[in-house]
Amino acid sequence: MIKAVVIGASYGGLEAIGKILIQLPPKFDIPIIIVLHIGHNTINSYLTSLNNKSGFTVKEAEEKEIIEEKTVYFAPPNYHLQVEDEFSLSLSTDEKVNFSRPAIDVLFETAAWTFKNKLIGVLLTGSNSDGAEGIKIIKKYGGKTIVQNPKTALGKTMPDSAIKLSVPGFIVDLEDIAEKILELTMEN
Amino acid sequence: MPSGTKHKNYDDSFYDQGNSDILEIELNLLLQAINLKYGYDFRNYSITHLKRRILHRLKISGLNTISELQNKVLWDKNFYGIFLQDLSINVTEMFRDPEFYLMFRTKVIPILSTYPHIKIWQAGCSTGEEVYSLAIILQEENLLNRTQIYATDFNKSVLEIAKHGIYNKKEMELYSRNYHDSGGKRNLADYYTSKYGSVLFDKSLAKNVVFADHNLVTDGVFAEVNLVFCRNVLIYFDKILQNKVLGLFSKSLAKRGFLCLGTKESLGFSDHENNFSVIDKENKIYKKLQVQND
Ligand SMILES: C[S@@+](CC[C@H](N)C(=O)[O-])C[C@H]1O[C@@H](n2cnc3c(N)ncnc32)[C@H](O)[C@@H]1O
């Protein structure tokens, strides 16, 4: 029984994440928690457009916010996003990890601790290696992992690094990731 | 027992799905041990955050389990000192969130200006960048001379740094930009002197500042103030502790006093929400109501 999906992306991530969220059917009710590297830029207009185009409530995660169904949470710029416990998220301003804040590894690791084998981790396009360690930890805690096929990624370093560090559960073309997520949650 | 091999990555760590119940037990025992031995109570801090810091220390110390770490924390004072630094996140900046400081200048300063004498408490001031930022604003608004600032933290080593007001020159580029964006009227460089890659802030900025050791979890009110500044500290606490500390701030504030929290922190959903009005929602600036609702 999958309880959450975590997604990480960097360079090329705006489009890749948009694609996946729009492909998922509105009845998909598992919370989705996302770290997208965006520097200090605000993502409000991006979130509003996703909110309109996808079937979900898309928002920036707030401090100690309760995790709800049918909701997509993005890490706010310049804060790490953590899964605090099964029911809530938390933010942190501590040091950058992999030169990034928010860092994908922080989200993935804290999600793995909490959701263990009830988690799907998805790592997408990017030109650094944040998230590779996270994918490995999600696997270690029994979760399912999907890495975007580097051939279909604008930034190949991020998926490549994850594939090099551990053997992800699935390596999937961008086009087919939403479907893979659905398939893995069908087993619920 | 695990073998004594050294671990480089979290991933190689001894903990996994199969034994994470033990990890939870060890974490609880460690926090209890620290409280009993040293009187620092971390039991109501964000547990995920603590776990990250603790596992990080485990990794770089070459220890396998939190039980081993607990042993060192109890018996090795130096190690505890280092470990305490891990748990108190001291990341800070001058004029962090410039927009907040701009709103502070626009909405709070005009009211403070009407007071004959101003008292300010900056709780969780870390290495002092925030204290010098505020002092600069007060100076530019001609209020510094009639202001008393209490700058507190529970970490004595950061207070030492704060007292000296010496920072890395490399940071000044960002700080200057922040200062400018926050409505600064001069050049940040007017307030410090540079020497060998360091900068020393003007001593006169800190002449009315008292730096003091104060633990928000265990210590009480120590002064009645017109403004409490506590940014990016509550974020490390759980809801229960956040609520308790907000109560402490409420008690410390004179009527119509101001409370400034970090951009991602809020009074919302706490027991004290109704005792304050919102001055700036985005920037988390609140004002204590004259009549208390409890
Ligand atoms: C992330 S820093 C924030 C610094 C500054 N206020 C800012 O916003 O840039 C958090 C500070 O809170 C302090 N702190 C944590 N727990 C505390 C407690 N129980 N009592 C007092 N200070 C505490 C830490 O030592 C650290 O210096």
- Among the partner-chain residues A93, A113, A142, the one whose CB lies closest to the CB of B232 is A93
Identify the pLDDT of residue B4: 37
Q: How many domains does chain A have?
A: 1
In B, minimum Cα distance to A66 occurs at: B239
Q: Which architecture, in CATH terms, is B98-288?
A: 3-Layer(aba) Sandwich (3.40)
Q: Tell me, what amino acid is at A28?
A: F
Which residues lie below 8 Å from residue B76, measured CB to CB, with a gap of 6+?
none
Classified as helix, coil or strand, A162 is helix
> What backbone torsions phi and psi does residue B219 show, to the nearest 5 degrees?
-95, 160
Closest by CA to B8, choosing from A116, A133, A142, is: A133
- Within an 8 Å CB–CB cutoff, is residue A94 touching chain B? yes
Pairing of strands A57-60, A71-74: parallel
What ipTM, to 2 d.p.?
A: 0.91
In chain A, the N- to C-terminal Cα span, in Å, equals 4
Residues in chain A within 8 Å Cβ distance of B48: 82-85, 90, 110, 113-114
Q: In angstroms, rounded to a whole number, what is the distance separating the alpha carbons of residues A185 and B70?
A: 40
- Within an 8 Å CB–CB cutoff, is residue A164 touching chain B? no
Closest by CA to B54, choosing from B93, B77, B23, B98, is: B23
pLDDT over 70 (residue A63): yes
- Residue A129 Cα distances to A57, A98, A112, A149, B21, angstroms: 29, 8, 18, 15, 30
B185: distance to nearest CA of chain A, Å? 24
State the residue range of the domain holding A176: 4-187
Annotated active-site residue A29? The verdict is no
Q: B155 CA distance to ligand 1 centroid (A)?
A: 8
Closest by CA to A6, choosing from A153, A149, A127, A108, is: A108
pLDDT in tens, A110-163: 999 999 999 999 999 999 999 999 999 999 999 999 999 999 999 999 999 999
Helix (H) or strand (E) holding B47: helix B47-61
Pairing of strands B209-213, B147-153: parallel
In chain B, the N- to C-terminal Cα span, in Å, equals 54
The total number of residues shown for chain B amounts to: 294
Per-residue buried b or exposed e for B213-229, using 16+ beta carbons within 10 Å of the residue's own CB:
ebebbeeeeeeebbbbb
Pairing of strands B198-201, B192-195: antiparallel
Q: In angstroms, rounded to a whole number, what is the distance separating the alpha carbons of residues A107 and A113?
A: 10
Identify the pLDDT of residue B3: 37
Q: B145 CA distance to ligand 1 centroid (A)?
A: 26
C-beta of B20 in contact with ligand 1 (< 6 A): no
Q: Could you tell me the residue ranges of all domains in chain B?
A: 10-87, 98-288
Identify the pLDDT of residue B291: 72
Classified as helix, coil or strand, B36 is helix
List, run by run, the mean pLDDT of 10-residue segments along chain B (294 residues): 40 82 96 96 96 92 94 96 92 96 98 97 98 98 97 96 97 97 96 96 97 97 95 96 97 96 92 95 95 60
Please identify which of the residues A37, A54, A80, A129 carries the catalytic annotation: A37
Q: Do B48 and A83 touch (CB under 8 A)?
A: yes
List strands edge to edge, sheet with B225-230: B209-213, B147-153, B118-123, B225-230, B253-261, B285-288, B276-280
* pLDDT (average), residues A161-167: 96
Annotated active-site residue A10? The verdict is yes
> Binning pLDDT at 50, 70 and 90, where does residue A87 land?
very high
Closest by CA to A8, choosing from A187, A183, A136, A140, is: A136
* pLDDT (average), residues A52-79: 95
Domain containing residue A57: CATH number:
3.40.50.180
Identify the pLDDT of residue B292: 64
Q: Do B232 and A133 touch (CB under 8 A)?
A: no
Which residues lie below 8 Å from residue B25, measured CB to CB, with a gap of 6+?
none
Contact predicate A32/A122, CB 8 Å: no
Q: Which atom of ligand 1 is nearest to the CA of B41?
A: 19
In A, minimum Cα distance to B9 occurs at: A133
Q: In angstroms, rounded to a whole number, what is the distance separating the alpha carbons of residues A51 and A19?
A: 13
User: Interhelix angle for A44-53 vs A13-23, to 10°?
Assistant: 20
**Joined tokens for residue B18:** 């199969």
What single DSSP character describes residue A116? G
C-beta of B64 in contact with ligand 1 (< 6 A): no
Q: In angstroms, rounded to a whole number, what is the distance separating the alpha carbons of residues A6 and A73?
A: 9
Whether the predicted model's global pTM rises above the 0.90 cut: yes
